[in-house]
């Protein structure tokens, strides 16, 4: 018999509550479709009932291949309500990569959007086991017909430590690894996200962040917990973002710095009447982009995390006293990764022996994390799990310093430190300096082998539309602001390669040097 003071934590409980408390409020806007929380709840439980009727058993994996529309949003509740495990897939991957995920996870059900019909067909040809494929938004719309015929169902969660989802890493250094999320971790991270974003029933959350990315940083459940509105955006388009901000009253959105750059320099960009709250992560935002967003009345909060931490694990918690700082200084402070958020353990920065570095903003070490929102390991990969968590603390691979006030600041990825003539050069420092040039839109700095110095920095720069700058302009801009040896030895102009979540693919740039 369960105790009266204990109930398993699961993020689907937020939808149950909102369907009761906010029944007639708008829960989801997906193009021309609008659903109240009562309707959203019914559709998710119909999805659960349909999956069970099709033979999905507790613990079975259900893969989803769809853009940011109602399909993955409903799957984030309907799949776990069937006691199954959600595998939200990156739709920008190649069929062979997606086939690996379906095969490795053992998913025997695939829900896919019609726009990816060709991709789904190709990946299914490569998967050896049988997969029940369900198409949404296609001719006849099998998905909608399935929901209409289904009997709503919801399997109670017996163990909050059971697997909720499998999220696959980007796989830039090999095959992607399956990261195990539990009901408990997602519940806590979703609540923390809603709290730190200050979401409430008046909030309209625009889905610029892919829902497949760390389950949308758990905001797929956090927005629901607040009774706010999910505003779906199938494709990131800056002009569409500005239209929706104006017409639908957007109050919040999340994304990598590249998304902020698109929004900030869109032709329609102008200061908004009501402050829009934005959370960014994936890379430190440059002080230049933070200054620009402030001019537009957009408040950017810097978050830090990884797939292994359910998305965000730290936040640059803003202190009221910092309001008095000059804008440029505020931007510099905001670029820090910050402190563990409300449900996290404090972040550490450790040396090679696992000891904490001095909190002097100078001694570098590796960020180490643990807590309720840390993965339960890599699926079917005990060796990789042990390597990543050698002593009960997860090693992130990010090199950072600890400030005296307890705020963490990344200086580089361990593989992105440039060692030139025996001196360590943090590529992030050089990037942020270059980003301060008025003509620069985006920048990435990598190491190039050099006979004399061992390595030297090289900058890849994308300019703002209509702006002009030369290699000499960029190099002199850096030399005027930081040590001369940190300036790039060459500058290459052009569009930067990015992952599906907006991170610059430095490994692609390295392959070209």
Rounded CA-CA distance 513/494 in Å is 15
User: Terminal CA-to-CA distance of the chain, rounded, Å?
Assistant: 64
Q: Residue 412 to residues 283, 396, 471, 473: CA-CA distances in angstroms?
A: 10, 11, 24, 25
Q: How far is CA 101 from the centre of its chain?
A: 19
Burial class (CB in 10 A: 0-12, 13-18, 19+), 40: buried
268-283: per-residue pLDDT in tens? Answer: 999 999 999 999 986 6
**Domains in the chain with CATH codes:** 35-182 (3.40.50.12780), 236-413 (3.40.50.12780), 421-511 (3.30.300.30)
195-229: per-residue pLDDT in tens? Answer: 999 999 999 999 999 999 999 999 999 999 999 99
140-159: per-residue pLDDT in tens? Answer: 899 999 999 999 999 999 99
The two structure tokens encoding residue 360: 């002097």
Rounded CA-CA distance 280/447 in Å is 26
121-134: per-residue pLDDT in tens? Answer: 999 999 999 999 99
pLDDT of 387 > 50? The answer is: yes
Q: Residue 401 to residues 43, 302, 322, 347, 458: CA-CA distances in angstroms?
A: 47, 16, 20, 11, 24
347-357: per-residue pLDDT in tens? Answer: 999 999 999 99
Q: Which pLDDT value is given to residue 269?
A: 94
Pick the range with the lowest mean pLDDT from 101-105, 256-260, 433-437: 256-260
Mean of the pLDDT values across residues 296-304?
A: 93
Name the pTM for this structure: 0.85
pLDDT of 102 > 90? The answer is: yes
pLDDT of 261 > 80? The answer is: yes
Mean of the pLDDT values across residues 391-397?
A: 94
């Amino acid at each position: 018999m369960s105790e009266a003071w204990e109930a398993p934590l699961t993020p689907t409980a937020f939808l149950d509550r909102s369907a009761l408390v906010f029944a007639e409020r708008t829960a989801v806007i997906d193009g021309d479709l609008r659903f109240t929380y009562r309707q959203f709840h019914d559709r998710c439980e119909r999805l659960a009932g349909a999956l069970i009727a099709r033979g999905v058993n507790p613990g079975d994996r259900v893969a989803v291949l769809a853009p940011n529309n109602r399909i993955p949003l409903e799957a984030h509740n309907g799949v776990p309500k069937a006691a199954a495990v959600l595998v939200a897939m990156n739709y920008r991957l190649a069929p062979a990569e997606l086939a690996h995920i379906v095969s490795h996870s053992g998913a025997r059900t695939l829900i896919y959007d019609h726009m990816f019909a060709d991709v789904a067909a190709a990946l299914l040809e490569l998967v050896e086991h049988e997969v029940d494929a369900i198409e949404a938004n296609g001719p006849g719309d099998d998905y909608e017909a399935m929901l209409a015929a289904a009997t709503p169902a919801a399997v109670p969660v017996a163990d909050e430590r059971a697997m909720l989802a499998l999220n696959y890493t980007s796989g830039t250094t090999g095959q992607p690894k399956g990261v195990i999320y539990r009901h408990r971790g997602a519940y806590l991270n979703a609540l923390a996200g809603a709290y730190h974003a200050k979401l409430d029933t008046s909030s309209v959350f625009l889905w610029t962040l892919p829902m497949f990315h760390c389950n949308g940083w758990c905001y797929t459940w956090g927005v629901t917990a607040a009774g706010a509105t999910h505003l779906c955006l199938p494709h990131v388009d800056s002009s569409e973002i500005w239209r929706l901000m104006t017409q639908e009253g957007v109050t919040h959105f999340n994304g990598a710095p590249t998304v902020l750059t698109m929004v900030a320099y869109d032709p329609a960009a102008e200061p908004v009447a009501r402050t829009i709250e934005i959370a960014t992560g994936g890379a430190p935002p440059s002080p230049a982009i933070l200054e620009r967003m402030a001019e537009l009345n957009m408040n950017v909060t810097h978050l830090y995390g990884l797939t292994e931490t359910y998305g965000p694990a730290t936040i640059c918690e803003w202190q009221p006293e910092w309001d008095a700082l000059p804008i440029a200084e505020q931007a510099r402070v905001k670029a820090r990764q910050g402190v563990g958020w409300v449900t996290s353990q404090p972040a550490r920065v450790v040396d090679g022996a696992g000891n904490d570095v001095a909190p002097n903003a100078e001694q570098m070490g590796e960020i180490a994390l643990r807590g309720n929102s840390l993965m339960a390991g890599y699926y079917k990969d005990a060796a990789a799990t042990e390597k990543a968590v050698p002593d009960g603390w997860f090693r992130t691979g990010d090199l950072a310093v600890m400030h005296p006030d307890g705020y963490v600041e990344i200086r580089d990825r361990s593989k992105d430190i440039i060692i030139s003539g025996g001196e360590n050069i943090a590529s992030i420092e050089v990037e942020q300096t270059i980003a301060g040039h008025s003509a620069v839109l985006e920048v990435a700095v990598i190491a190039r082998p050099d006979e004399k110095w061992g390595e030297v920095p090289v900058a890849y720069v994308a300019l703002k539309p209509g702006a002009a700058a030369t290699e000499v302009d960029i190099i002199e801009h850096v030399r005027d602001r930081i040590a001369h040896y940190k300036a790039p030895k060459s500058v290459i102009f052009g569009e930067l390669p990015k992952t599906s979540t907006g991170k610059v693919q430095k490994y692609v740039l390295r392959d070209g040097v």
